[in-house]
Chain A
Amino acid sequence: MNPMIRKELRQRMRERRGWILPSLYLLALCAIISFVYYESYKDSPGTQQGWQFGVELFLTLAYSQLALLLLMAPIFSAGALTIEKEQRTLPGLLTSLLGPVQIWWGKFAASLMFILLLLVIGIPVLSAVFAFGGVGPWEVGIVAFTTVVILGTISAISLYWSSTFRRSVHATAVSYVTVVLMTVVTLIIFGIAMSRVRTQNGWHSIPVMVKVPLYLNPLFFLTSALVPKNQLYPEWFTCLGAFVAVAALCAVLTLRNLRRSGDVA
């Protein structure tokens, strides 16, 4: 096992946020379920079919889970390298036999593992939807996979900012700005572009150039995962390619920064 991963996980689990964040996350998911249940039944109890409620609950949980994790992902990765600079421990790592790739992978995997931990502890809550029907393992699986890809990309982006800045506070702030750019600004750009385009035949008649900002939008990526299995192509695959490409680019740039970081270490 990469020694960086072991070190990172040990240190993360010793921090107070190692148990506070998972607890808050579970509480938030439970609160969302309770709220949706209450809202669905308060006005017209018994009029909604079980499977309809299952789908409604599943969609709410999927988007809420993504939103919560998008808020949490920069916490784990944006400070991963800056903390080494702040503690002056980076020279020790760079002069050991760990290469920049191992250092990056250790930081990335440890950040993602913590996110996976949150996803895993949320499974019992998420599986409540099975009790109502309307949602199968495929839907749960593709949503989980899409969420992991999105959060992996956000982690890679945050790690890049962490390698660029010297202070955790700056790297974290810029990482959140990036999350907002990807989730909100891309939607606004798409909205503006759509207002200038006349479309007659629905989604497929929208020019690709107009849709491009959406391919980097985590909410759109998740939405594209919710279409029937045979309609995943091309939108879901395009989003997958875009997110993986951004993550790969960030990884390359982070490695370049790490190789040059002896100057600031």
Chain B
Amino acid sequence: MIEVSLIQKRYGGSRALDGFSLRVEKGELFGLVGPNGAGKTTLIKILSTLIRADSGSAKIAGFDVATDPLAVKSVVGYMPDQPGLYQDMRVREFLEFFADAFRIPSQRRRAVVEQALADSGLAARAESFVEELSFGMKQRLFLAKTLLHSPQVLLLDEPATGLDPLARVDLRDQLKRLNQQGITILLSSHILADLQEICSRVALIAGGKNQQDAAGNSVIELRSADSSLPRLYEVGLLQDGERAAQFAGAFSGVKVMDVEPSRILVEISGEPAQASEFLRHLVISGVQVVRFDRPPATLEQRYREVFGEKPR
């Protein structure tokens, strides 16, 4: 759905993007993570047709952002890090203006705006001036505006910036819901916990280039939609990690990644049921298992491995 290939963008003497590539599949909720000045905003601006890349190519839904910007705009919803709103307009007027700007036919416009008001929970504030809304409501209004023309792809640049915890949870739920409706979402954020919870994959970017974690991956798999892909499991043991590793290695579809006296790390391929079969096999073999789960907080760990700093 989104294909970026070796894209470059310079601002004066500095390179904002330096050969970055990315591929986001249809229906994915994809994260973009990197330190300040990594090139995330520049990439999202190029994809939203706001700026032009110096070289490389970027396509959304098959449309080239450089040569077919109008087609791209019709399938993309863009939300910048600091969404600007017309403070002196009423909520309904604001949505009606953008419905008109997105060329929604006049006979459908009223219904679309009413639906947007209902979906965003702003129906009761439809006649309020935008300046009277709270920050969280303004964010919801902007998201509602972004969704007016039913885009196939959402490009969100730091959408949770400045939101209080409840509003953040609200935004996260909205994004999950939209993704379940089939909208592909590319989201840049510094809040790794949010990305960890909602994204299926995350790309690492710094200095305008793709970055790789210790395992050589430039894209981190967080929640694989494909259940047959290998998943990491951590097995806590009472003792004798070496013996447990021997039993584990003998089980079909299991690869031992790391061994310690009280813990082994394994990668299990196949259906999720394979993991429960593996656990049963270990217990029957007499291995004293005290814990069996997936390693937590992988994104933050990997972020630190790659960028060597604590995220904001």
Residues of A in contact with B (beta carbons under 8 Å apart): 3-4, 6-7, 10-11, 14-15, 84, 87-99, 262-263, 265
Contacts and interface: CB of A to CB of B under 8 A. Distances in A.
Contact of A97 (B45, B86, B103, B145): B103
B102 A97 contact: yes
B86 A91 contact: no
Given A7-B86, A15-B88, A94-B49, 13 more contacts: A3-B97, A6-B100, A87-B85, A88-B82, A89-B84, A90-B84, A91-B48, A92-B145, A95-B73, A97-B73, A97-B74, A97-B102, A262-B50
A96 B93 contact: no
A186 B267 CA distance: 81
Interface string B83-112: 111111100010001101111000000000
A11 B93 CA distance: 11
Interface string B27-57: 0000000000000000001001111000000
A71 to B, nearest CB: 24
B244 interface: no
A96 B98 contact: yes
A94 B48 CA distance: 9
B80 interface: yes
Contacts of B11: 263
B24 interface: no
B61 to A, nearest CB: 15
B89 A98 contact: no
A15 B89 CA distance: 11
A95 B85 contact: no
Contacts of A97: 70, 73-74, 101-103, 149
A11 B102 contact: no
Interface of B: 11, 45, 48-51, 70, 73-74, 76, 78, 80, 82-89, 93, 97-98, 100-103, 145, 149
A94 B84 contact: no
A7 B97 contact: yes
A4 B100 CA distance: 9
Contact of B89 (A10, A90, A96): A10
A3 B48 contact: no
B101 A98 contact: yes
A121 B304 CA distance: 67
24 contacts: A4-B101, A6-B100, A7-B86, A7-B97, A14-B88, A87-B85, A87-B86, A89-B84, A91-B50, A91-B78, A91-B84, A92-B83, A92-B84, A92-B98, A93-B101, A94-B50, A95-B49, A95-B50, A95-B73, A96-B101, A97-B102, A97-B103, A97-B149, A99-B70
Contacts of B74: 97
A84 B49 CA distance: 18
A102 to B, nearest CB: 9
A263 B51 contact: yes
A15 B88 CA distance: 9
A17 to B, nearest CB: 13
B86 A89 contact: yes
Contact of A11 (B49, B84, B86, B103): B86
Contacts of A265: 50
A11 B88 contact: yes
B51 A87 contact: no
Contacts of B100: 3, 6
Contacts of B80: 88, 91
A89 B88 CA distance: 12
Nearest to A94: B50
Counting from the closest, the 4 A-B pairs by CB-CB distance are: A262-B50, A88-B84, A89-B84, A3-B100
A262 B45 contact: yes
A7 B95 CA distance: 11
A14 B145 CA distance: 22
Nearest to B142: A92
A95 B84 contact: no
Given A91-B50, A265-B50, A96 B87 contact: no
A10 B85 CA distance: 15
A90 B145 CA distance: 14
Contacts of B87: 87
B51 A262 contact: yes
A14 B89 CA distance: 9
B255 to A, nearest CB: 46
Nearest to A90: B84
